[in-house]
Amino acid sequence: MNIIIVKDYEEMSRKAAHLFVAQLLNKPNSVLGLATGSTPMGLYKELIRFYNEGMISFKSATAFNLDEYVGLEKEHPQSYWRFMQENFFTKVDLPVERQFIPSGVAEDITLESYNYDKKITSKGGIDLQVLGIGRNGHIGFNEPDLKFEARTHVVKLDEQTIEDNARFFKDISLVPTLAISMGVKTIMQSRSIILLASGKEKGEAIMKMLSGNITPELPASVLQLHPSVTAIIDLAAASMLDIAALEDLYQISMPS
Ligand code: F6R
């Protein structure tokens, strides 16, 4: 794993955008794995800026999102479909027919999950996947103690995840308790992964992800096994790391 420690959220977003730009310049028809939440918003802003400046185009690319709440219609203000429309898809030239987000209202969610993985495979697999991380170490909505072999599936959200995501809803009782999420296996099959973390509330999860055992108790720890992960972490999220000890295990760059 390559670890880039940066000053703040803005620098994290910029560096992540640079990796996406490089990916698209190398392979315009890349399959991109996208995330929602607060963490990647700056990345999307940067990518939209690069697109507006004519540096990159998404017209040949394909995108697969990590997850969606079960029970929320596409147009629901808090659906991840809506998040992606508002924050990214309507602002770049990525064709609508190549924007994929699992449906949280499919009649048969098990079939929807199975078909989602099949679709990813049929498009050649994910070239570059961006991930945020939950305070409990989740990636996608793979909460602690789920099997690493899981492909796209329905997950029961942790109390902590529901509490964290309540900030987007009028009331915590309105936060869905289930989601459909790419599984750890689906994520691990991506050719390259960028994990982003900003803020001191992510500090403990980042410390455990990098310094702890590889265990489903901390889903992001599985990334230690992936051959091509870049973790871009701001100083606040890196505040619990023992950099000197980690330098034996990882390539680490510090802010200039
Ligand atoms: C979102 C996702 C989640 C978030 C994580 C962090 O699609 O899969 O794993 O990345 O919950 O959320 P934020 O960025 O809001 O702190």
CA atoms within 13 A on the CB side of 4: 19
Residue 119 pairs in a beta bridge with: none
Q: Ligand 1 center to residue 29 CA distance, Å?
A: 26
165-171: long-range pairs with CB below 8 Å, 24+: 168/78, 169/78
pLDDT in the model for residue 211: 93
**If pLDDT is split at 50, 70 and 90, which confidence band does 47 have?**
very high
Collect all residues with Cβ–Cβ distance below 8 Å to 88 and sequence separation of at least 6.
Answer: 34, 44, 47, 48, 94
Q: Name the active-site residue from 11, 112, 127, 143.
A: 143
44, 133, 196, best to mutate for ligand 1 pocket (most atoms within 8 Å of CB): 133
**If pLDDT is split at 50, 70 and 90, which confidence band does 256 have?**
confident
Question: At residue 146, does pLDDT exceed 90?
Answer: no
13, 34, 41, 66, best to mutate for ligand 1 pocket (most atoms within 8 Å of CB): 66
First to last CA, the chain: 20
Q: Ligand 1 center to residue 67 CA distance, Å?
A: 9
Q: What is the mean pLDDT of the chain?
A: 97
Q: What is the mean pLDDT of residues 119-128?
A: 98
Residue 63 pairs in a beta bridge with: 32, 99
Q: Which atom of ligand 1 is nearest to the CA of 65?
A: 7
Task: Kindly report the backbone phi and psi dihedral angles of residue 127, in degrees, each rounded to the nearest multiple of 5, phi listed first.
Answer: -80, -45
Q: List the structure tokens of 206.
A: 């980042």
Q: Ligand 1 center to residue 37 CA distance, Å?
A: 5
Q: Ligand 1 center to residue 40 CA distance, Å?
A: 8
The answer to whether 220 touches 205, Cβ cutoff 8 Å, is yes
- Measuring from each residue's beta carbon to the nearest atom of ligand 1, which residues come in under 6 Å? 35-39, 66-67, 132-134, 138-141
Mapping DSSP onto H, E and C, the string for 144-165 reads CCCCCCCCCEEEECCHHHHHHH
- Ligand 1, atom 8, residue with closest C-alpha: 140
Number of residues written out for the chain? 256
Q: What is the mean pLDDT of residues 158-174?
A: 95
Collect all residues with Cβ–Cβ distance below 8 Å to 248 and sequence separation of at least 6.
Answer: none
The answer to whether 199 touches 237, Cβ cutoff 8 Å, is yes
DSSP 176: -
Collect all residues with Cβ–Cβ distance below 8 Å to 24 and sequence separation of at least 6.
Answer: 30, 56, 57, 58, 61
pLDDT in the model for residue 20: 98
The answer to whether 135 touches 39, Cβ cutoff 8 Å, is no
Q: What is the mean pLDDT of residues 78-96?
A: 98
**Does 136 qualify as catalytic in the annotation?**
yes
Q: Measured between alpha carbons, how far is 77 from 170 in angstroms, rounded to an integer?
A: 11
pTM: 0.97
Q: Name the active-site residue from 65, 136, 142, 165.
A: 136
